[in-house]
Structure 1
Amino acid sequence: MFSRLLASIVLFSSALLFAGGAMAGNLAQDSWHQIDSANFHIITNGDPAAVRTLAQDLERYRAVALDLLGAKDDGTKLTVYAAADRDSYAGLVGDDLAELTNGLFDTTAEGSYALVNLDGRTGERQLEAREFLFHEYTHFLSYNGTTTHYPYWYSEGFAEFMSTMTFGPDNTYQIGAIPGERAMTLLYTSPMPLQQLLEATAYNTPDEDKGRVYASGWMLAHWLIMNSGKAEQFKGFVKDYNNGADPVKALSKNLGMSFSQIETSYNSRFQNGKFDLARGKVPASFKPARPKVKALSEQQTVVELARFLVKSGYNLEGVEAMVRYAEKKGIYTPELNAVRADAATRIGDFERAQQLLAQVSPPDRSSFWYQKAEAWLWLNREITKFGDERNKVMLKKARDTFVNLVNNQSEQAMHWYGLAMSMEMLGYPKKQYTEMLEQAYLRAPREQHIAQWMAQELYNQKDADYFARVAQPLMLEMTSEAEYNQMKMMLAELKPKGQESAKGGAKGSAKSSAKGTAKDSDRLSAP
């Protein structure tokens, strides 16, 4: 059985395994701005005028992408951290990730965010900054609020395909161009063998081969969308893939082609080097955005960046560097105490977290940032105990605080998750705490620890169909072989009446090139 009681500790502390250097302290010395439009909240130390233009492009891209994908507009606003250069990016994610990536996207129980390096890994402008942003936002559109999974090659290849969208006069757009960095990868290393590509995952692919997955995945996705005539059939593949089918056999079955035929088409794309372009019109309903720019004070900057470091866990050591900077400059705030307490709770240093929160003055303790940190401290401290050892008074306080947070910030899955756990440990009827758990799951279906607990409860209830809808996409996220095999046995035991596709369908598949006319083409050539 899954260790649900340790889920909170694991959820928070696992990020520490990836903590990098403490370069983050230097970030607070930069000038940071907040740029807000209808659907984006951008925090940047880049040129605010240039990033404001990027925000306008993002809004226009969003309108076209929603139309092309047939995706639902749920009004969710995405937070984007746009680092001006490689050093700034490394301060947020640590040196190792800064060497491997130019952008990241993550869905968490606290919401989704994208992170981009506006200047590329080397400090040279390898790619347009908006290509990074379009790529990461495509992930958001594909995965936000849904449990649908795509194979690694398609997830990244499709995001690359969409990232090259450009805009022209008369409200037109063009899509299908060759991403510059991916072209270099294909020319210098050759495409990845098709079977290896189809079976690739983020976990079984060495870091040095991930660029080939992006480039080769783009080439295969481009063929599927623009030339194969199989876009609708590909949706059947996504359904089968989410139901655990072998990716090689499932693609062949759904496309109605033998593996060798698909392989021939795939290889010929590289040999031919010619890739069609499509043009279309930005939806007439789109209204140009007018993003608002606001300079952040040093106090706001330190809290904002420290909160990101704790939430992401990429470079958690950087929090104390931020603290030292704030103390030196005389800009330390009570909210920074809550951020530090949150970080201490995540590594199980409950005494330190308590000391930090005790330093917050009573007038500030009604703030949601304080209540959240305190409730999770209370809850995590009791999770490490068993039975009568637990302090029921503290659990009731945690429960009441989570109720208040849920009532005021109902979109936050974390609040519902905390409420469900506190209710379970207080002995509430299963029906009552699982209702709270379901609310957390519906808001963050891709948060693995929430989904695991949800799956376990559905298994216990013998709700075969609902269990399958939760368990099947969850299995695609699991890195533990033991947990994967256990979930597989549970699925086999319940035997759902029918396999259902994951909620959301093949949301990431474009509607083919019908929205535009493929009149031109782009060609691979040596740089």
Structure 2
Amino acid sequence: MFSRMLAYLVVFSGAWLFTSDVMADNLAKDTWYEIDSANFHIITNGEASSVRRLAEDLERYRAVALSLLGAKDDGAKLTIYAAADRESYAGLVGEDLSELTNGLFDTTAEGSYALVNLDGRTGERQLEAREFLFHEYTHFLSYNGTTTHYPYWYSEGFAEFMSTMTFGPGNTYDIGAIPGERAMTLLYTAPMPLQELLRATVYNTPDEEKGRVYASGWMLAHWIIMESGKAEEFKQFVKDYNNGADPVKALAKNLGMSIDEIEKVYNDQFREGRFQLARGKVPATFKSERPKLKVLESQEAVVELARFLVKSGYNPHGLHELVKYAEQDDVYTPELTAVRADAATREGDFDRAARLLAQVAPSDREEFWYQRAQAWLWLNREIGSMGGDRSKEMMKGARDKFVKLVNNQSDEAMNWYGLAITMQMLGYPKDQYVEMLEQAYLRAPRELHIAQWMAQELYDRKDAAYFAEVAQPLMLELTDEAEYNQMKNMLAELKPTLADNAKAESRIQGKASVKDKTSAAASGASKATP
């Protein structure tokens, strides 16, 4: 189906796609702040008091959004990198992406994060920053910890719909306003033809057309939510879409309208140009608390920025400039060395990574940042060796480090994933390493390589219902035609029954207790020596 050995490296290196000449050392010269609230961790070089107010509004927005979405509050905290201006934003994401975007969201096996350019495109800092952050956080709430997929038009259109939420007196909020930038797109380019919109994906839509998907998706989402009276029927459409139904036929079927009737409503809305607003109350359970503000020391800021550049891969060349700055301004730290080693491992330069880690003093080698960098170096280096050339001693060392990491940083999927790989390579029984793999999957169900491996293991043991739970949403992520067709055939072959589906749903709902159980299992992994 796919090469798991290749996937281990790809999960690191796949994001390293963008290059840029933006000088990231300029970022480190700014004053950076850390703003912490109950549910947000914000790193910013923007005006601290303004960003602090944004954090307060984000907490209020979160309370309303959870209520409107009926979403479960799992306590997951989102990290946001809030760049003060376009130059800072380009230093984080690269010149090309900074021209195309003002905000980004990514959910990965290393955690979810959002970025925002506080300046926006018009210079209306506070308003646009709020909209971008609300937009990106809507993605977080929609996708965090779930395998449900939404069509591209609705994912972005609904995030735009939510982004214009404003708060008024008496703890009220208004929703449904027209996003200014999307209105301009519609006026200058016209709505995207409905069937083209419904079938649009992030992969088949050219960059220059993506703004039309956002704008047209917002208009259609606004009608469905505010005027159609078919919000419940739309939920069934999402289920059908996730089960592989044609989006055009499924929307018509579930809304009980022909596609021509839906297109008429869609176009009439544009011609009339009037969109309803709704007002509500912030949930009474919400309690506003002042976010904590801290000025980051230069050493902390450099490491934070370097870690982001390596993790995201948007502007990898920026790491070199940060290192030069840290050395020249005497703010270089051992942790920065570990970040550089991590970058070298992701690039496949294992010798360089080993030389860098050797520079870290023994007194610092119990730190988690060192343990993580060394565990992944040892693992990836042994993956690159063939058969008998692999060092079992190194593999056992990597295993023990991953055990320590999962027992101290159990929310990070990558720690569980690394442990599963090392246990498999050391010859552990299948049920033991798959248990660790499941922990990675439950924490990062949208990470492609983790989900692919999980699906293969479930297929091999003929667990039809659980396999369908993993494979069906995975198919919406696969861009390789051969992999897609193979997954489709595997699904058709197993055909879970209704009873199987009920069992799988019960198992997935009970994932919290599974997490508790397997932490103890991970501790046992360090004692086994097959």
Provide the TM-score with structure 1 as the length reference. Answer: 0.94
Residue 251 of structure 1 aligns with which residue?
Answer: 251
1:468-515 alpha-carbon deviations (Å, 9 max, x no partner): 1101101111121221112112112222224969979xxxxxxxxxxx
Q: Please, which runs of 5 or more residues in structure 2 have no aligned partner?
A: 507-530
Paired with 2:386 and 2:262, the residues of 1 have a C-alpha distance of 56
The two structures, once aligned, show a CA RMSD in angstroms of 1.5
Paired with 2:15 and 2:180, the residues of 1 have a C-alpha distance of 33
1:121: Cα distance to partner?
Answer: 4.0
Paired with 1:105 and 1:209, the residues of 2 have a C-alpha distance of 19
* Counterpart code for 2:44: T
Structure 1 residues 274 and 503 mapped into 2: Cα distance closer, same or farther (>3 Å)?
farther
Paired with 2:406 and 2:126, the residues of 1 have a C-alpha distance of 44
Paired with 1:13 and 1:160, the residues of 2 have a C-alpha distance of 31
Contact 1:23 1:94 (C-alpha < 8 Å) held by counterparts: no
Residue 54 of structure 1 aligns with which residue?
Answer: 54
1:289: Cα distance to partner?
Answer: 2.2
Q: Which has the higher contact order (CA 8 A, sep 6+)?
A: 1
Paired with 2:319 and 2:108, the residues of 1 have a C-alpha distance of 19
Paired with 1:328 and 1:53, the residues of 2 have a C-alpha distance of 35
Spell out the pairing of 1:49-448 with structure 2 (5 A cutoff).
Answer: 49-121=49-121, 125=125, 128-448=128-448
Matched, 1:26 2:26: yes
Residue 40 of structure 1 aligns with which residue?
Answer: 40
Matched, 1:474 2:484: no
Structure 1 residues 91 and 500 mapped into 2: Cα distance closer, same or farther (>3 Å)?
farther
1:128: Cα distance to partner?
Answer: 2.0
1:411: Cα distance to partner?
Answer: 0.5
Structure 1 residues 493 and 305 mapped into 2: Cα distance closer, same or farther (>3 Å)?
same
Paired with 2:309 and 2:275, the residues of 1 have a C-alpha distance of 40
* Counterpart code for 1:410: S
1:304: Cα distance to partner?
Answer: 0.2
Paired with 2:336 and 2:92, the residues of 1 have a C-alpha distance of 17
Paired with 1:136 and 1:252, the residues of 2 have a C-alpha distance of 29
* Counterpart code for 2:230: K
Paired with 1:467 and 1:19, the residues of 2 have a C-alpha distance of 38
* Counterpart code for 1:63: A
Residue 487 of structure 2 aligns with which residue?
Answer: 487
Matched residue count = 504
Residue 15 of structure 2 aligns with which residue?
Answer: 15
* Counterpart code for 1:267: N
Paired with 1:74 and 1:432, the residues of 2 have a C-alpha distance of 27
Paired with 1:84 and 1:25, the residues of 2 have a C-alpha distance of 15
Paired with 1:319 and 1:304, the residues of 2 have a C-alpha distance of 11
1:309-350 alpha-carbon deviations (Å, 9 max, x no partner): 111111111111100000010110000000000000001000
* Counterpart code for 1:226: M
Contact 1:147 1:503 (C-alpha < 8 Å) held by counterparts: no
- Deviating above 3 A after TM superposition, structure 1's stretches of 4 or more consecutive aligned residues are 121-127, 498-504
Q: Please, which runs of 5 or more residues in structure 1 have no aligned partner?
A: 505-527
Paired with 1:503 and 1:476, the residues of 2 have a C-alpha distance of 20
Paired with 1:20 and 1:475, the residues of 2 have a C-alpha distance of 32
Paired with 1:126 and 1:487, the residues of 2 have a C-alpha distance of 46
Contact 2:16 2:312 (C-alpha < 8 Å) held by counterparts: no
Contact 1:102 1:116 (C-alpha < 8 Å) held by counterparts: yes
Paired with 2:145 and 2:505, the residues of 1 have a C-alpha distance of 9
Structure 1 residues 126 and 42 mapped into 2: Cα distance closer, same or farther (>3 Å)?
closer
Paired with 1:134 and 1:207, the residues of 2 have a C-alpha distance of 22
1:363-413 alpha-carbon deviations (Å, 9 max, x no partner): 100000000000000000111123222111000000000000011010010
Paired with 2:480 and 2:93, the residues of 1 have a C-alpha distance of 25
Paired with 1:500 and 1:19, the residues of 2 have a C-alpha distance of 45
Paired with 1:273 and 1:122, the residues of 2 have a C-alpha distance of 23
1:8: Cα distance to partner?
Answer: 1.6
1:239: Cα distance to partner?
Answer: 0.4
1:17: Cα distance to partner?
Answer: 2.0
Partner SS state of residue 15, structure 2: helix
